[in-house]
Copies of this chain bind each other. A is one copy, B any other.
Amino acid sequence: MTRKKQTDRVTITDVARVAGVSKTTVSRYLGGQYHVLSESTQARIKEAIEQLNYRPNQMARGLKRDRSYLIGMVMADISNPYSTAVLRGAEDVCKQKGYSILVCNTDNDPAKEREYILMLQSHRIDGLLINTTGKNNDFLRELANDCTPVVLIDRKVPVLGFDTVGLDNEQATSEAIHFLLNRGYKRIAYVSEPIAGVSSRRERAAVFTALADQYGYSADDLYEVNLQSPERLSEVLDHFLQRTQGEKPVIFAANGVVLLKLIRALQSKGISVPEDVAVISFDDTEWAALIGSGITAIAQPTYQIGMTAMERIFQRMEGDGSPAQNIAFAGKLIIRGSTPPVV
């Protein structure tokens, strides 16, 4: 297999030579300025390009035009199906505009987040989508002085003038809790990953707390668990279920990852859903319907979130200077067998 040297790549100069015109003319053709080109010239250039299998060099083009045709996407956890669903929406918009996406996974590590953002800046990305770790607020604030449009996904950063796209956590959480209350549940636990710094977690938890007094369940049953340590979740379950005095308990998982660990913990303890405890969760994962008689879940319009976020980027790139928007989509409650009416 012979390998062509990179430097042997065909350039606009080659095309110009073969077509018998100047680089400028070829460049005009590439730029789609057909109205200033004669038919015959167009035809000759077209042929030369095909014959040579020419592909314009985006680095050169980008250097000159001060655009990279690259969008950065920094996600806290790419393994979360939420992230890939958002990515798909974002990508479809990008593709249509001739842009490509640089994907970075921070693993919820703020240091990685900073490093990746610096790296992306080096590539002169034209836009940046961030699902932030929530622990780089000062650093992110500096991005605001930058020229590059930034859209935050799911997680907001206080004070900043960034566009934000995500779920209407207030509506979704409230709807879910009212649903549980209507079904007759009086003892509700809310289990979340660590809330500090992550706006969506905070917003959801706040609704749980705010409605507690009003509706007579205990705000104390808000549990933060670090999912790295399974013991903690086990303790939380013991603590909560022990407190349920005859009343049917329900556990509200703050996202799909929590739900996964929760189900695992319940199974290992021999606790049945929904006989012993009811379950409801954020994120309608692909497998939620398959667990037992199905897990009641709040579905997010993830694809649309990705699309919308990317559309904001392009609007900003095209000069939209309006104040930062906060776009929140409604969640949809999918009722399944894990939350039967309390008899």
Contact = CB atoms under 8 A, between A and B. Distances in A.
Interface of A: 1-9, 55-60, 62-63, 66-70, 78-79, 81, 83-85, 87-88, 91, 95, 98, 100-105, 112, 115-116, 118-124, 144-147, 161, 260, 263-264, 267, 285-287, 289-291, 321
11 contacts: A4-B145, A6-B124, A8-B147, A59-B62, A60-B63, A95-B115, A100-B102, A100-B104, A267-B290, A285-B287, A290-B291
Listed from nearest, the 9 A-B pairs whose CB atoms lie closest are A287-B287, A103-B103, A59-B62, A59-B63, A4-B147, A6-B66, A58-B123, A59-B59, A58-B122
Given A59-B124, A102-B101, A124-B57, A7 B145 contact: no
Nearest to A56: B122
Given A1-B145, A103-B103, 19 more contacts: A2-B145, A6-B147, A9-B147, A55-B121, A57-B63, A57-B122, A59-B63, A59-B68, A59-B124, A63-B63, A87-B105, A88-B105, A91-B104, A91-B105, A100-B104, A260-B290, A285-B287, A287-B287, A287-B291
A100 B120 contact: yes
Contact of A88 (B79, B144, B147, B287): B79
Given A58-B124, A104-B100, A144 B66 contact: no
A343 B9 CA distance: 67
Name the residue among A85, A91, A98, A115 with the largest chain B CB count within 10 angstroms.
A91
Contacts of A104: 91, 100-101
A100 B101 CA distance: 10
Contacts of A264: 289-290
A32 to B, nearest CB: 15
A147 B84 CA distance: 31
A121 to B, nearest CB: 5
